[in-house]
Amino acid sequence: MADTAHAARFAEIIGAANVLTAASDKAPYLVEWRDLYQGVTPMVLRPGSTAEVSAVLRYADEQGLKIVPQGGNTGLVGGQIPQESGDEIVLSLGRLNKVRNVDPDGFTITVESGVVLEALQREAEKVDRLFPLSLGAQGSCQVGGNLSTNAGGTAVLAYGNSRDLVLGLEVVMANGDIWNGLRALRKDNTGYDLKQLFIGAEGTLGVITAATLKLFPKPKKLEAAFVGLASPEDALQLFSLAKGQAGPILTGFEIMPRVGLEFCLRHLNGARDPLSGSHPWYVLMELSSGTEAFPVRDLLESILGEAFEKGVVEDAAFAESLQQVNDFWHIRHGMSEVQRAEGGSIKHDVSVPVAAIPAFLNKAIAAVEAMVPGCRPVPFGHLGDGNIHFNVSQPIGADKEAYIARWDEMNELVHGIVHEFNGSISAEHGIGRLKRDLMKQVKSELELDLMQRIKTAFDPKNTLNPGRVL
């Protein structure tokens, strides 16, 4: 690759200041936060408009260059990190950070792909609306990355995954063509729903540059409880009871083990144990209503009161203020981060049918403990939609490198159990590089062939994110 000549051409398109070639300037774009991948690139490009993205991709496609789109670099499967070969160029979308339109009456907002998720949430709040996607990384992840990975988060139970929140997209194709599909229509039956192909495609089919997204009424009343339980079976019974009585106003239902809470109490700033006693498992429940008149607190107390009577719940703490609601969620959102302080952690982002979660947890926990005596399983996550982050921390005092070296072995064990329950090996994090080679185990030959045909049709020169997903 004639790096100097290419850099000069890109500088003409986006400005020399936005073509990063110095090692110190490139460094933040080359490592993902778990340190599983450390990439190499000749340059990082930072376009500032859709037109600039188009010109960059047109030149790259003509020259046979490979492009790795990157948002906030919070992905967990390595899809946004360039290969170690050093011949892939990083395309950072962070400068595409404009809010193009807010329509509170139509309950929509149109933003560019580099808008940070937390900033999007604040824009919705300004007009008394809610954008419900909520993640632990929301202070740095970007909309384009959220859509490219079909991010899930803690609100899927009530509002769905990222793809459920999208009305329209603007996408730059591999050859530089711009597809303007920024429609704010709730109904549109004119042929193939093209936008859905790009959501979850991890930048392999096109580069999302803007999106028209759904907004929702901002909750007027919000109640939460932090609940102690004896087992996942009890957590499932509580979920069934809560869903049956609260229906759509049950907006959060997260399960956590005691060991995960202990990690948070040790390493998460501001974390306090919500309950006076220790319990094997915990659930964070949230109910919300769009009207002040609805007795949300009464309903929450009624649900938990019935659960107490049935012996399902051991103890519970009710949030007495919005700050306490946020404190409860602070613990849940911090559970991934704090595991780093406990040494090596082998992670699994899996889903099984909701009713199978207790059986899956019991079998998977026993299996990994037998495989690595002394390991500390930390399964937590979205019980209400079947998504469990089945993370396993190293035994206390174990050698981190030796433990992490068993990553593939433990993945095979856990994913095998997931398969027994007709689950998925990637519930919300995507495939990227980390799980690419597992696709043949979980997809039929026909599915893989159809996916490859789509990739070839959209990106015949394999310009965009080669070696990811497929």
pLDDT for 33 beyond 80? no
Q: Which helix (H) or strand (E) covers residue 379, if one does?
A: strand 376-382
Show me where the domains of the chain are located: 1-92, 99-217, 221-421
Specify the 3-state DSSP secondary structure of 377.
strand
C-alpha distances (whole Å) from 314 to each of 278, 332, 380 are 10, 19, 19
CB contact burial 398-424 (16+ within 10 A = b; e otherwise): eeeeebbebbeebbebbbebbeebebb
Cβ 431 vs Cβ 202: under 8 Å = yes
Distance (Å, whole) CA 180 – CA 193:
13
Q: What's residue 34's pLDDT?
A: 75
Give the mean pLDDT of 163-170: 98
Q: What's residue 191's pLDDT?
A: 94
The two three-digit tokens of residue 113, written as one number: 């792909």
pLDDT for 467 beyond 60? yes
| CATH number for the domain whose boundaries are 221-421 | 3.30.70.2190
Give the mean pLDDT of 104-130: 97
Q: pLDDT tens-digit profile of 75-85? A: 988 899 999 99
Helix, strand, coil share of the chain (percent; to 5) = 40, 20, 40
Please tell us whether the domain made up of 1-92 is placed in CATH 3.30.43.10. yes
pLDDT for 381 beyond 60? yes
Q: Could you please state the CATH topology (level 3) that the domain comprising 99-217 is classified under.
A: 3.30.465
Q: Using 50, 70 and 90 to split pLDDT, how confident is the model at 329?
A: very high
The two three-digit tokens of residue 123, written as one number: 């824009």
- Answering whether pTM is above 0.85, one says yes
Q: Using 50, 70 and 90 to split pLDDT, how confident is the model at 423?
A: very high
Q: Using 50, 70 and 90 to split pLDDT, how confident is the model at 32?
A: confident
pLDDT for 437 beyond 60? yes
Cβ 43 vs Cβ 88: under 8 Å = no
